[in-house]
Amino acid sequence: MTISSTARFSDRVENYIRYRPGYPPEVLGLLRAECGLQPSHIVADIASGTGMFTRLLLENGNSVFAVEPNAEMRESGVHQLESYRRLVSVAGTAEETTLGSASVDFVTAAQSAHWFDLPRARAEFVRILRPAGWCVLIWNERLTSSTAFLRDYEQLLLSYGTDYEDVRHEKTTAMIHEFFSPADCEERIFSLRQQFDDAGAAGRLLSSSYAPLEGHPKYAPMMQELQRIVRAHAVDGKVEFEYKTRVYYGHL
């Protein structure tokens, strides 16, 4: 993970906590059924951010090393999850977790692996995983064309996003099998939805690292366009974001 990638969300923590989607509980059911996840297993949640996926693991009873390089997000995660005794917060990266060799049963990375130096991260995951341990990579992929609102929202991002086309998550699928190779991985997909009023839609937009913030020349026209499309497409005052939650899992 480069310095620029670890710092991207430092000024977006509050919006990230309030407006980013979580993860479907079916993901844990999948890991239990397919990977044998048990509460006794130790998990390294890499680039854990504010702890959205970490929380699901802790609620499952797992001991979790939440490895996060961004100080603001790491501190927020500790605050959000302070009631869980099985949480260990770690200042580390995917490439240098600081964890011991063969120390965890699962390595997870939710909404983050596209920022990794993949060859170095893979080598680090192999080092910290116990024999027959599992690697799980997860993304919430926002749908871009299933509704009129989402089509307009996608066009807004293409018009005003600072580097949106470079980091769009559909580009990550191609690198998944290369990451797991020579091992194989499995993929499962779940559905997820969020509904927002105009203020919530603004918060969701500004939680994204490619959305210009106040003071940027694109900020004001972007927010005006967002307000226009929300008003054009809202039903009972709300618009809906739709996602596919993609889960890739396998041995390394």
Integer-rounded Cα radius of gyration of the chain: 18
CA distance 197 to 203: 10
Q: Could you state, in order of their start, the residue ranges of all structural domains in the chain? A: 3-143+166-192+244-250
Average pLDDT rounded to a whole number, residues 187-207: 96
pLDDT band at 115 (very low <50, low <70, confident <90, very high): confident
Residue 224, C-beta contacts closer than 8 angstroms, at least 6 positions apart = none
pLDDT digits (tens, 9 = 90+) for 127-156: 999 999 999 999 999 999 999 999 999 999
What pLDDT is recorded for position 188? 97
Answer whether the bond into residue 182 is a cis peptide, omega within 30°: yes
Say which residue, 239 or 15, is predicted with more confidence: 239
pLDDT digits (tens, 9 = 90+) for 88-112: 999 999 999 999 999 999 999 999 8
pLDDT digits (tens, 9 = 90+) for 60-83: 999 999 999 999 889 999 999 999
Cβ contact 92:45 at 8 Å:
no
CA distance 107 to 43: 6
Top-level CATH class of 3-143+166-192+244-250? alpha beta
The three state secondary structure string of 2-34 is: CHHHHHCCCCCHHHHHHHCCCCCCHHHHHHHHH
